[in-house]
Amino acid sequence: MITSTANEKVKFVKKLHDKKSRDAENLFIAEGVNILSDLKEGFSVKEIFATDKTADIAENLAKKYGACTTLVSESVMKVLADTVSPSGILAVIGIPLSKPEGVNAVVLDGVQDSGNVGTIIRRSARDFPTFILWTLPTLSHRKRSGRVWARCFAQT
C-alpha cells in the first residue's frame, strides 16, 4: 500500500492532471466505479488505484481489463483524484489511437449552461460524426444561445 505522496507512481499520476502530460504520455485518468465498469473496447487500462474500501471492486476490474492494482491510502487518493470527494478508485488508461467506428450519440440531460452546451456540441462535431439528443429541461436551442448552435452546425 502506498501511503506517501512522494512515491514515484503518485507523482506520475499527479502529472496526468495536466493536459500537456496527458498528451505526451497518451494516458488519462478515469475516476469512479461506474465509469471504469462501462469502458468500451479500445481503451487499455494500465493500472487501477484503489483504497481499502474499494479493493475488491478494483481486483475484479483488474481481472476484466488485464491491469494491475495498487492500493493507496485515503490521503494519497485525495491527491490522485480530481474530485472533491474521491470515490476511492481510479485508473490510468491509454488514449485510443483510432476513433471509434459506427454511429455516435451525445445525450444532453438537464444541461442548463449555454456555454457547456455549445462546447459539447462543438467538440462532438469536431471529433466524430454525432447524433445529438437533449432531454427536457435541457437548455433550449431557441434561447439566447441560438447563435452558438447555428455556428456549431455550420462548421460540420
Cα Rg for the chain, rounded, in angstroms?
A: 18
pLDDT digits (tens, 9 = 90+) for 97-152: 766 566 677 777 777 777 777 777 777 776 665 666 666 555 554 444 444 444 44
**The pLDDT of residue 139:** 55
- pLDDT of 71 strictly over 50: yes
- pLDDT of 10 strictly over 80: yes
